[in-house]
Structure 1
């Protein structure tokens, strides 16, 4: 599932314990309006529509093939021959229902921001100087009604408390660690966790100085230790990074398997935590002053602000 946004509308999920079947399907009454985006390579599709007169976005993703179910998959599936030529043959494999899952994410009620997020659009690379951040980006962020209440709900244990795998409660250097919705927790190769800091005065990389080094080093050491202990993945097999621009403006760190090509892990958006620590050790004002590049979609209001300022 794609990363949650600032506007505070959370994915609506049936009120059942994890693993239980839901008798109240939020998609049975889903009326399709349009396809926002689809990707054959990633085997997913993003759909805009309505659930009981409320705007909704439904994301369908084919579940990965798991090593622990391969034998059952091959033995219990039905094969329909499509083509045979010498040593080569292709089939349509009809797997049993429990081995043919489609991960379904429902965002309802969905805001215009959600719909735009998943709509395929042109993307532009913006190079933001420290001055641009203060005169263009920060005023734009401050003018928007971005809510991170869902983040506060997690930190205050009002929501998703059962998903937290580790917490350091220290108000200055502490954080909670929990699986990202992109990870189904079935394959270590797709491991993806998010560390959300308890501090509420740090929005992004731009706010970090050497004062925050104890927080960052604590995040790295305890996050990596927890993941190695819980999932058997050593630090040498992890990609630990910030997004800039972030999807929501409350400092958080991404922990992903090095084998997983996670959305947003490319050089135009990801900043390794280890690099951030070294940069701040060398220069406390590094992220206040240096230029940072990041992608913006064609409909992003911040892109318009950069154009109006003559920066594009």
Structure 2
């Protein structure tokens, strides 16, 4: 027995601490790889939105700038019975028929959606920093003389869009594709939607064509593309999610957040940021306007909001437009 303890078994025991240490280091490395915010060091709060239960923060991850967005996930109807049954309640106040509690839900029912941009550029940081907002009215001439030269001179990368179209990224998230180079598009869920309930349904159709930056570039030549997106997008959403066209809001943003033509499909009940009249243009209205006048969006005035730190706002100021 003594020989067994001090012989091979003893050697094995002597090696075990080293092996355990290596395993712990490997697990720590894996956690660091899987969890990009484990080393996050907070610098400042960029924006806090209590109404939407979201916060935007700026900091460092391993000496690289990072922007992290934390959003409370929506309640799921199918999990409500489990939520009420398994959570702990702490009484705060009781008066007659009224009582308020702090509900402590189990982790699997208390998710926080986390979006990480790292390394974050100054543009990322400014995008989420709270700023005053101004509403501009841009004529067709303003677009050609002010807006177009400005966006052409900026380094607005859409490589991530090309990665999707070329199946280099997010290929498993695509729910439909029409590969036609002129009238085709891919349809995939927007990151704002966790795909767990239909009340906040949100998908994006990204066109294969790379020569259309925004609404301003559309003419009657693109009607086949637009009607194809509407019909096949609505058909796909009805088949896959059971949501009929009458419950969808289908629209463009102007100005868009990135300059590659894309269409938003959201549930009508979902009051998503950017769906207001100052920025959203219904796809059905765009189609009808182009059927009436091929140059409609080349010439008409369009209004859109700009933040105080936006370089385009400065261009309009210098031109005496605001």
TM-score (structure 2 length as normaliser): 0.90
1:260 counterpart (258, 270, 279):
270
* Larger helix percent: 2
For the pair 1:80 / 2:90, whether they are aligned, the reply is yes
| Cα displacement (A) at 1:147 | 1.3
Shift of 1:22: 8.6
Matches within 5 A, 1:140-289: 140-289=150-299
Aligned counterpart in structure 1 of residue 146 of structure 2, from 119, 136, 149 = 136
Q: Which structure 1 residue ranges, 5 or more long, are not aligned?
A: 1-20
Matched, 1:93 2:103: yes
| 3-state secondary structure, aligned to 2:34 | coil
Q: More relative contact order in 1 or in 2 (CA 8 Å, sep 6+)?
A: 1
CA distance in 1, matches of 2:105, 2:32: 22
- Tell me how far apart the structure 2 counterparts of residues 113 and 92 of structure 1 sit (CA, whole Å): 38
Structure 2: distance between partners of 1:226 and 1:133: 35
Conserved? CA contact 2:32–2:38, under 8 Å: no
Query: Hey, what's the Cα distance between the residues in 2 that align with 1:280 and 1:147?
Result: 29
Instruction: Return the alpha-carbon distance in structure 1 between the equivalents of residues 34 and 156 of structure 2.
Output: 30
Q: 1:24, CA displacement in angstroms?
A: 2.4
1:65 CA drift (Å): 1.0
Q: Structure 2: how far apart are the matches of 1:23 and 1:173?
A: 40
**What is the CA distance between 1:270 and its match in structure 2?**
0.2
Distance 2:177 2:73 in 1: 29
Which of 31, 56, 59 is matched with 1:49 structurally? Answer: 59
After TM superposition, give the deviation of residue 157 of structure 1 in Å: 0.5
- Compute the displacement of 1:167 (Å): 0.2
Structure 2 partner of 1:14: none
Question: By how many angstroms is 1:146 displaced?
Answer: 1.4
Partner of 1:298: 308
Q: CA deviation at 1:23?
A: 6.3
Residues 1:38 and 2:58 are matched in the alignment: no
Aligned partners of 2:320 and 2:47: how far apart in 1? Answer: 31
How far apart, in 2, do the equivalents of 1:64 and 1:276 lie? Answer: 32
Distance (Å, rounded) in 2 between the aligned partners of 1:251 and 1:241: 11
Separation (CA, whole Å) in 2 of partners of 1:36 and 1:23: 25
| CA deviation map 1:220-273 (0-9, x unaligned) | 000000000000000000000000000110000000000101110000000000
Q: After the TM superposition, which segments of 4 or more aligned residues of structure 1 sit over 6 Å from their partners? A: none
Per the TM alignment, residue 119 of structure 1 is displaced from its structure 2 partner at its CA by: 0.5
Q: 1:125 aligns with which of 135, 139, 153?
A: 135
Give me the whole-angstrom Cα distance separating, in 1, the residues matched to 2:286 and 2:204.
Answer: 17
Unpaired segments ≥5 residues, structure 2? 1-30
